[in-house]
A and B are shown apart, each in its own frame.
Chain A
Amino acid sequence: MSLTNDQLQAVAHLARIAVEPESTEALRTDLNAILDQARLLDDPRLNDLEPMAHPLDQTQRLRPDEVTETDQRDTLMEGAPAQENGLFLVPKVIE
């Protein structure tokens, strides 16, 4: 399975990462080398195995429905790149 330049651009858009035209070729080679390895996963021994999402056979623990957090806005927003009146600012959102 080999990645085309168009596919690479589409994936880069999904990931919101800009891929400059001059680095496209090198990146494509790198990605294809990694994806080449994935051919090993065609091994028929895998066909009937149950996909494994977690290494431990545990189930989700539930938290009681209680409010445990207090207003930490000033501390938590200290590292915000742009803010005003307690809001995070971003370039205009058009819906």
Chain B
Amino acid sequence: MSQYAIPSGWEAVIGLEIHAQLATRSKIFSGASTAFGAEPNAQACAVDLGLPGVLPVLNEGAVRMASLFGLAIDADISRVSSFDRKNYFYPDLPKGYQTTQLARPIVVGGEVTITTGEGKKAREHTIRVTRAHLEEDAGKSLHEDFHGMSGIDLNRAGTPLIEIVSEPDMRSPEQAVAYARKIHAIVQYLGICDGNMQEGSFRVDANISVRPEGDEAFGTRTEIKNVNSFRFLQRAIEFEIERQIDLLETGGEVVQATRLYDPDRDETRLMRTKEEADDYRYFPCPDLLPVELDEATIESWRAELPELPDAKAGRYQTEYGLSAYDAGVLTSSRATAEYFEAVIAREGSDAKLAANWVMGEVAALLNRLELEIGECPVPADKLADLLERINDGTLSNKLGREVFEALAEEGGSVDAIIEARGLKQISDTGAIEAMVDEVIEANPGQVEAYRGGKDKLFGFFVGQVMKAAKGKANPKAVNEVLKRRLDGE
């Protein structure tokens, strides 16, 4: 990540609102499917379309998932929560109101710990979560031209969301991104959100203000809507901080407004000012009753909680002796941790070796191919096969990298690649002894000099043997045999 520094004399104050689509099978208030990618409006039932007379019925799965999130961040789960209506007109909002939770959200409070920087510069920060509430997603307006009209697809309407609202606890784009990534990791660990930012399953709005360093009062904030990648989040916040500071330093003032980040131009632009914002006329939804959760239900959900990123990172350090940084990287996403754990599930595996490979070769490969770890062309079991061959001495690290590249490009089994490419390291003692004997026989002068005290010549013998083995001899075995033959006899 780029190293951005806020201009000196200024401090940025950042809070995030994250919308995470919950991975329920059906919608929050109807029995229609939430699957992505159906034909337009094929998954919009009478309730989702807001036809006259329809009524909402709350999905238990959505309540459970929102509660799991609350439990994961140590928040209070409201024993009684309720739904309100947020009224505004928009074509993708079928009923003319969004059903959401204003007065009594299901999750209150909670916090997450983030780390920024590496090594000695690593710093931990606690970011407080204000609340997380359940609400329904809207549909989509499609802007291709239909005789000068827009098309409305309501398949997404009614997909359950949790909106996670943080306190304005972040002071840099780096912290904001680390917080967003941590929330992203948590919802994925919990299995309550697929986290797909391109498809809009995980959307981030950032509230940003700046103030002179040391000031207590917050500056006027702007809200940047729907940033759909972590990289854009970083860029959008950087841009907005710079824009606001420029304004203030040149005698201008920040206007409270909602802005959109345009990744093509790498800038934010005005969407609407506070004055233009609708009066949403929130009031309690009369079609839904208060949601009551009893202790037993909440406890049964608590028992479902999986090992979460922080706990897992701690365990990697104590159990596998990994560094805090490595443990942090390997647990940063559920998919990475799952990949890593699948690799080390192999009996006799070496966790440190596996960690180095996952963070080194695997990460580099994914970076190069722009793939997620779930799509890695070298699946975890293949990497485990490969590491097993390094461990048993069949492959050197160098040969291992060659096999890894072959696996990535062509697939196939590790042993078949070793066989086909003749990459097998010669570890067979008999074969190595034969080669050593040949080298000794062919170089009587050097043997005499070595035995006379010229220790440095040992390297020469190693080189000669490796040359004879075309580089495939197990170096450890070569050393051993040479020592025995030269020193012992």
Mark interface residues in A53-88 (1 if CB within 8 Å of B CB, else 0): 110001111111111110111001100001011111
Residue of A nearest to B148 (CB): A92
* Residue tally, chain B, CB below 8 Å to A: 54
Q: Determine the chain A residues whose CB is within 8 A of the CB of B42 once the complex forms.
A: 71, 73, 86
Query: Given the interface contacts A71-B43, A87-B151, does A63 sit within 8 Å of B146 by beta carbon?
Result: no
Q: Is A16 an interface residue (CB 8 A)?
A: yes
Q: Give A51 to B7 CA distance when docked, in angstroms.
A: 50
Q: Is A91 an interface residue (CB 8 A)?
A: yes
Q: Is B429 an interface residue (CB 8 A)?
A: no
Q: Give A84 to B142 CA distance when docked, in angstroms.
A: 12
Residue of B nearest to A77 (CB): B41
For residue A62, give the distance in angstroms from its CB to the closest CB of chain B. Answer: 4
Q: Is A18 an interface residue (CB 8 A)?
A: no
Q: A67–B33 contact, CB under 8 A? A: yes
Query: Given the interface contacts A14-B279, A14-B281, does A54 sit within 8 Å of B60 by beta carbon?
Result: no
Q: Is B141 an interface residue (CB 8 A)?
A: yes
Q: A65–B59 contact, CB under 8 A? A: yes
Q: Determine the chain B residues whose CB is within 8 A of the CB of A64 once the complex forms.
A: 60-61
Q: Determine the chain A residues whose CB is within 8 A of the CB of B147 once the complex forms.
A: 89
Q: Is A1 an interface residue (CB 8 A)?
A: no
Q: Is B288 an interface residue (CB 8 A)?
A: yes
Q: Give A85 to B292 CA distance when docked, in angstroms.
A: 42
**Of B40, B141, B289, which is within 8 A of A85 by CB?**
B40
Q: Is A26 an interface residue (CB 8 A)?
A: no
**Of A53, A67, A93, which is within 8 A of B143 by CB?**
A93
Known pairs A66-B25, A76-B41 / 10 extra A-B pairs, C-beta < 8 Å: A59-B80, A60-B289, A63-B31, A71-B38, A72-B46, A73-B39, A73-B44, A90-B91, A92-B148, A92-B150
Chain A residues packing against B (C-beta within 8 Å)? 14, 16, 53-54, 58-69, 71-73, 76-77, 82, 84-93, 95
